[in-house]
Amino acid sequence: METLVKDIHTAVMEGQSEVVQEKVKAAITAGIPAEIILNEGMVSALAEVGHLFEEGEYFVPEMLISARAMQAGMALLKPALKEADIKSSGKVIIGTVKGDLHDIGKNLVAMMLEGAGFEIVDLGTDVAPDKFVSAVRETNAGIVAMSALLTTTMPSMNTTINALKESGVRDQIKIMIGGAPVTEAYAHQIGADGYAPDASRAVALAKSILSVS
Ligand code: B1M
């Protein structure tokens, strides 16, 4: 069991998508819990990739192929991450804010929310404030969920909230935010309704702000 998780970790770090897929399939078959495969095999590998990037040992192409390898593995884990008793919990509009192309965390949050019974409207990455506004107008979503991975794109969350206010739709929805540099304090500062540090707590937060049990 440990060897398989280690192999997944190494393959994500080396950006070997096919090996990741092969090992993730083997780990699922071996009965290793999806959360262990995800957190110990893949999320920790990307954290290490981030450190190597900071230290100048990895560059953007290496980060990118590691990210692709993780996404290949995540696709296989999706069914296993779904909760058993799924009932409709509401609709969530989700996107990575303008200027930001990181989508793995956002995809993971979307996947876990979907698994918990939420309907997802995924706007993708680099989402301009007016796109969030249009999505609120076009859907009957209860939540707008924004992700940012760069300190330089966090202000786009504030700009988006202001755009939602200016267009008169702010009070129709709850707003939740997250992403590595984002904090609870920042959520308060910009007037979001909630912050979650990871995907499972994002599910708990979404349920609590929509009062879903
Ligand atoms: Co970039 N990158 N990157 N990158 N990248 C970081 C974020 C960085 C910390 C690396 C580093 O220096 N150590 C750094 C940011 C520094 C900063 O601003 N403080 C950085 C940089 C600098 C950059 C570029 C500027 C590099 C360059 O071009 N010179 C560039 C920017 C491009 C852009 O966006 N405009 C860039 C590009 C890229 C790639 C494209 C190569 C690739 C992204 C590919 C992709 O996403 N499809 C990439 C990657 C892979 C990373 C790291 C290595 C990994 C990010 C990741 O996917 N983590 C990252 C280093 C790191 O994080 N340690 C780094 C795994 C993911 C599961 O975690 O996204 O944190 P995370 O999501 C978590 C939580 O944050 C939370 O739940 C998730 C699951 O638990 N969460 C939410 C996320 N969104 C949420 C929303 C919620 C609630 C919770 O509610 C709505």
Q: What is the pLDDT of residue 83?
A: 55
Architecture of the domain spanning 90-209:
3-Layer(aba) Sandwich (3.40)
Q: Whose CA is nearest to atom 40 of ligand 1?
A: 64
Residue 28 corresponds to which amino acid? Answer: I
Mean per-residue pLDDT of the chain: 92
Q: What is the pLDDT of residue 108?
A: 87
Distance, CA 178 to ligand 1 centroid (Å)? 12
Q: Considering 9, 17, 102, 147, which one is annotated as catalytic?
A: 102
Residue pair 125/95 in contact (Cβ under 8 Å)? The answer is yes
Distance, CA 170 to ligand 1 centroid (Å)? 27
Which tens digits make up the pLDDT trace of 3-50?
999 999 999 999 999 999 999 999 999 999 988 998 899 989 988 998
Architecture of the domain spanning 2-83:
Orthogonal Bundle (1.10)
Is 100 annotated in the active site? Answer: yes
Q: Which tokens belong to 70?
A: 């993780």
Distance, CA 109 to ligand 1 centroid (Å)? 14
Q: Whose CA is nearest to atom 20 of ligand 1?
A: 150
Q: What are residue 177's DSSP bridge partners? A: 146, 195
Q: Could you tell me the end-to-end alpha-carbon distance of the chain, in angstroms, rounded to an integer?
A: 34
Pocket test residue of 9, 43, 63, 101 for ligand 1, highest count of atoms within 8 A of CB: 63
Is 156 annotated in the active site? Answer: yes
**In the chain, what's the furthest Cα-to-Cα distance?**
54
pLDDT category of residue 141 using cuts at 50, 70 and 90: very high
Q: What is the pLDDT of residue 116?
A: 77
Separation between Cα atoms, residue 126 and residue 154, nearest integer Å: 12
The pTM of this model reads 0.90
Separation between Cα atoms, residue 141 and residue 56, nearest integer Å: 42
Q: What is the Cα gyration radius of the chain? A: 18
Is 193 annotated in the active site? Answer: no
User: Domain map of the chain by residue range?
Assistant: 2-83, 90-209
Which tens digits make up the pLDDT trace of 77-134?
888 876 544 456 799 999 999 999 999 999 989 988 887 788 999 999 999 999 999 9
